Structure 1
Amino acid sequence: MKTSWRSASLLASAAAVLALTTACGQDGGGAGASQNVGATAAPGDIGDIGAGAGDGLGAGVNDGRRSASPPASAGKLSVSADTELGELVTDGSGRTLYRFDQDTAQPPKSTCDGDCATAWPPVAADDAIAGEGIDKALLGEVTRADGTKQLTIGGWPAYRYAKDTAAGDVKGQGVNGKWYALAPDGKKAKAADLPGLSTRNDPELGEIVVDKNGMTVYRFMKDEAWPKPVSACDGACLEKWPAVAPVAADDTEGVQKKGLMSFTRSDGTEQQTVDCWPIYTFAGDEKPGDTNGQGVGGTWYAVAPDGKPVGAPKK
């Protein structure tokens, strides 16, 4: 009987390993011996993770400095139709107006000063005129740190984007995941809602996975998927490569369902996987369509619909 009990125990253990193997298969992309979920990279590995989050134009944190110049006049506000974003507000020159997620609407408050206000010039309130399609009752003003009056729409302080050089430009849309064109009601002008995970065709990388905001999703080659997901990105790494939060299987489109799961990281938070590989976004990607994280440090790659790293060297 003792021998039979041991045999049964061994069979049960083998079955458990087989179940994990079936759920989280290995594609040779860096899996090795099992570690604790959320294990950190070895000392010195952070240097391989990549550069910081862009040029800082979207940082937007009030650094205590005054705006370099007073807000530019708004003129007659209009409603323009964008093929991707729908209706959005433009100023008298046809320039797109934006709102910032770190501001508040109730009460109105601007947190963009100094370098931020240079990249995102505030719109003056004094000469704003409600044109066709603009509800005058939604127009207001907020007093900035330098004492100037800034236009608000639906309570949200309004800005232009310095990189918009022509009427109709919307280059500021989605920058750093915090800047959005203003809709006539003061809400964010944005494309139709995307699933939690879906795919898009990139002109250089082919079909890749994107998150609900259309941002490119990446894999870290030092992570593991077998026999269970293990993230090697913690601390400073996570600041540059935020983990993708769990997504329901029925809230995905075009992504392989096998190995589509979440796991608990060492810090207790949940992270999504594709084919059991942990997935991330990149802080250096400012807007949908950016792939600035591709190939960073030779360890970060966009994710194909089947979970494989796009463009990673074959082993």
Structure 2
Amino acid sequence: MKTSWRSASLVATAAGVMVFATACGQDNTTTPSSAAQNVGATAPAGIGSITNPSASTGAANGYGADGSQASSSPAAVAPAGKLTIASNPDLGKVLTDGSGLTLYRFDADTANPPKSNCDGDCATTWPPVPAGDATAGAGIDKSLLGEVTRSDGTKQLTVAGWPMYRYAKDVNAGDVNGQGVGGKWFATAPDGKKATLAALPGLSVRKDAKLGDIIVDKNGMTVYRFIKDKAWPKVVSNCTGDCLVKWPAVAEVASSDTKGIVKKGLMGFTRPDDGAKQQTVNCWPIYTFSGDTKAGDTNGQGVGGTWYAVSPEGKLVGAPSN
């Protein structure tokens, strides 16, 4: 932060508008119109369409990330074959089957004794891996491989006691679309433990296949901006009340705890509605989205025509005008 920047001061209006004087501009308090706040619960047709964030998710019903059942695929009955170890840039070493498809474990299961609690529709989205011909490939301890008898009498592969599954939405070898779904499904490490995301800084940059370079938080969750907020010549957050339930404010992050983010305008401010510290990038307040259930999701992109992912410079990504 340049030494010529002025320290932040806060002014709250009766409408709960957040305004502060920083390097972002002078302290000019204005009250937005009643239409200024747009929670963005519904995306315009064809842009960022999502399921209701309050709907049941994989954490509750064992389905996919959006609570829907995935269609059956050949992977549902394919043999395990020789298990292999794949290297994932985010998760490190991940266990895969003979076709290169990622193997997952379910937190609702138990390993001692082994027991699968994914049946019916859950097992359609998360096909159990047959135990029959499974063998240990290079680097895998064959003593960790076992089996459990499912409720339908079939034998399911276990690794270190944990029942193994594929994810019906993984199409290609190396896909890890099931990682973190519902907060209960995780790719399996070669020792049977969860493969987890490497530690991330408070804010960093992720290359998204569709959006390019975007900012993510310490959990790998996509960061968004609200186009009805303001940064120049004053900073204003127009997301309050119910809006903050759907779009939680990103807490203040130390400048030293960021990677790849442009430092200018990288600062926090105190929200007058609840006293919490919120982070800004290029003086724009930033948020996450309750409809994103796992790292890498971008379900908030374009929602309501007002919410967009953020570039490392703090610009809106993919907005009609920036």
Shorter-chain TM-score: which interval? 0.5 to 0.7
Please state how far the C-alpha of 1:148 moved relative to its aligned partner: 4.7
Q: What residue in structure 2 maps to residue 154 of structure 1?
A: 160
Could you tell me which of 211, 219, 226 is aligned with 1:220? 226
Please state how far the C-alpha of 1:117 moved relative to its aligned partner: 2.0
With over 3 angstroms needed to count, the CA separation of the structure-2 counterparts of 1:192 and 1:312, relative to structure 1, is same
Structure 1 unaligned segments of length 5 or more: list them. Answer: 1-14
Contact 2:221–2:292 (8 Å) recurs in 1: no
Q: What residue in structure 2 maps to residue 232 of structure 1?
A: 240
Higher helix share: 1
Q: What residue in structure 2 maps to residue 170 of structure 1?
A: 175
* Deviation readout 1:75-132 (Å, 9 max, x if unpaired): 4323234566443222234432123455565675545443332122112345543333
With over 3 angstroms needed to count, the CA separation of the structure-2 counterparts of 1:271 and 1:109, relative to structure 1, is farther
Supply the AA of the counterpart residue of 2:31.
A
With over 3 angstroms needed to count, the CA separation of the structure-2 counterparts of 1:143 and 1:294, relative to structure 1, is same
Supply the AA of the counterpart residue of 2:157.
L
Q: Tell me the distance in 1 between the aligned counterparts of 2:289 and 2:171.
A: 28
Q: Tell me the distance in 1 between the aligned counterparts of 2:62 and 2:49.
A: 23
**More divergent stretch after superposition (143-152 vs 126-135):** 143-152
> 1:266-305 alignment to 2 at 5 Å?
272-274=279-281, 275-281=283-289, 283-284=291-292, 288=296, 291-305=298-312
Q: Secondary structure at 2:60's aligned position in 1?
A: coil
> 1:75-86 alignment to 2 at 5 Å?
75-82=81-88, 85-86=91-92
Please state how far the C-alpha of 1:244 moved relative to its aligned partner: 3.9
> 1:25-174 alignment to 2 at 5 Å?
25=25, 32-33=30-31, 46-47=41-42, 51-53=49-51, 59=58, 61-62=60-61, 73-82=79-88, 85-100=91-106, 103=109, 110-125=116-131, 127-142=133-148, 144=150, 146=152, 148-166=154-172, 168-172=173-177, 174=179
With over 3 angstroms needed to count, the CA separation of the structure-2 counterparts of 1:58 and 1:253, relative to structure 1, is same
* Deviation readout 1:192-244 (Å, 9 max, x if unpaired): 43322112455664542122344432112345665565533637x735x4554
How does the TM-score come out when normalised to structure 2? Answer: 0.65
> 1:9-20 alignment to 2 at 5 Å?
16=9, 20=20
Question: Highest CA radius of gyration, 1 or 2?
Answer: 1
Q: Secondary structure at 2:256's aligned position in 1?
A: helix
Please state how far the C-alpha of 1:253 moved relative to its aligned partner: 1.0
Q: Secondary structure at 2:22's aligned position in 1?
A: helix
Q: Tell me the distance in 2 between the aligned counterparts of 1:173 and 1:297.
A: 27
Pairs aligned (count): 287
**More divergent stretch after superposition (257-266 vs 121-130):** 257-266
Q: What residue in structure 2 maps to residue 260 of structure 1?
A: 267
Q: Tell me the distance in 2 between the aligned counterparts of 1:154 and 1:263.
A: 48
Supply the AA of the counterpart residue of 1:231.
C
Please state how far the C-alpha of 1:284 moved relative to its aligned partner: 5.0
Could you tell me which of 196, 205, 209 is aligned with 2:202? 196
Contact 1:199–1:253 (8 Å) recurs in 2: yes
Q: Tell me the distance in 1 between the aligned counterparts of 2:179 and 2:229.
A: 28
> 1:174-185 alignment to 2 at 5 Å?
174=179, 176=181, 178=183, 179-185=185-191
Q: Tell me the distance in 2 between the aligned counterparts of 1:22 and 1:271.
A: 14
Please state how far the C-alpha of 1:184 moved relative to its aligned partner: 0.2
Q: Secondary structure at 1:261's aligned position in 2?
A: strand
Q: Tell me the distance in 1 between the aligned counterparts of 2:186 and 2:116.
A: 15
How does the TM-score come out when normalised to structure 1? Answer: 0.66
With over 3 angstroms needed to count, the CA separation of the structure-2 counterparts of 1:157 and 1:298, relative to structure 1, is same
